Chain A
Amino acid sequence: MDIKEIIKPENLVHKRTPLMTDANLSYCPGCGHGTVHHLIMEVVEELDIQQDTIGIAPVGCSVLAYDFMDIDMTQAAHGRAPAVATGIKRLWPEKYVFTYQGDGDLAAIGTAETIHACNRGENIAIFFINNGIYGMTGGQMAPTTLEGMKSSTTPYGRDYKTMGHPIKITELVAQLPGTSFVTRQAVHKPGNVRKTKKAIRKAFEVQKEKMGVAFIEIVSNCNSGWKMTPNDSNKWMEENMFPFYPLGDIKVEGKIVKDLMKDLV
């Protein structure tokens, strides 16, 4: 069979969602941000809520998310996206509101906003991309940087005696009564992408039911910051990030489903 016979509109299986704009993504080649952008927009398209969705872009690599997603978007000051989302959601309770944040934004400068928005149980979805580094500013150490991990400000590796331990913000917010759905996923393999998409869909459904915060952490690579090729960085992520940040659901429908104490030791 000739290729031209296969490439016909009726045989289409997968195409770029029209909810992503034509702007070129500003991310490095192989960065997980692009995959997550596409997944969120695919879910919004499938649920047919383009008119009713409001996104909040953070400060960081994904600061230009409003250029790429063809929905109503705004951009918040560094770390303040959950606070802005709270305001928007309270003004328009029937809209779907989500924040899209990185680890430097959500887990460092925005810790207070994140924890209090989760504790209040605002009906918003938080998408948290964790790559263990400040990607945009040049690969400095973030709160989520692993112990012993090299970054531009920790050239000999992160030492917990002087720099503290990496923070597991997702396990932290799971213990708050306001969160309903808390999970940790990845987007480097097709299976993980499918699971992440399911989780994103569930986050919007949780919001529709007004059950509280849906918090989705996506462990991602930062090949430029880690100074690796995209595929090497994905492998490094599997070997080093996943043992410390294990994938899977942590809280489903308001009940913690994971043994949190096991991970703390």
Chain B
Amino acid sequence: MAKMRGAIVVDTERCKGCEVCLVNCPSDTIGMSKEVNGKGYHYAFMKDPESCTGCANCAIVCPDGVITVYRVKA
């Protein structure tokens, strides 16, 4: 079976750093950045880009809709 590769793009200025995406990521791809955005929140980012499968679970639970998901068959 072809492996799925995914990637997320986080709108860092909109992200409020609630970490709901982090616990709902099945492949443990997402981490919280050490830097803060303009509002002072630690935003989400891909800490392990290789493991992302593009399942979009993070994006659909994100209360602020900041995550865009891309997926491709590798």
Which A residues form the contact surface with B (CB < 8 A)?
1, 3, 5-8, 11-17, 20, 24-25, 27-35, 38, 187-190, 193-194, 229-231, 234
Contacts and interface: CB of A to CB of B under 8 A. Distances in A.
Contacts of B54: 6, 13
Nearest to A16: B65
Given A20-B65, A231-B23, A234-B20, A194 B60 contact: yes
Contacts, number: 97
Interface of B: 5-7, 9, 11, 14, 16-20, 22-24, 41, 46, 49, 54, 56-57, 59-72, 74
A6 B7 contact: yes
Given A13-B54, A234-B20, A34 B61 contact: no
Contacts of B11: 16
B60 A33 contact: no
A256 B8 CA distance: 42
B62 A3 contact: no
Contact of A14 (B5, B19, B60): B60
Given A6-B7, A6-B71, A25 B64 contact: yes
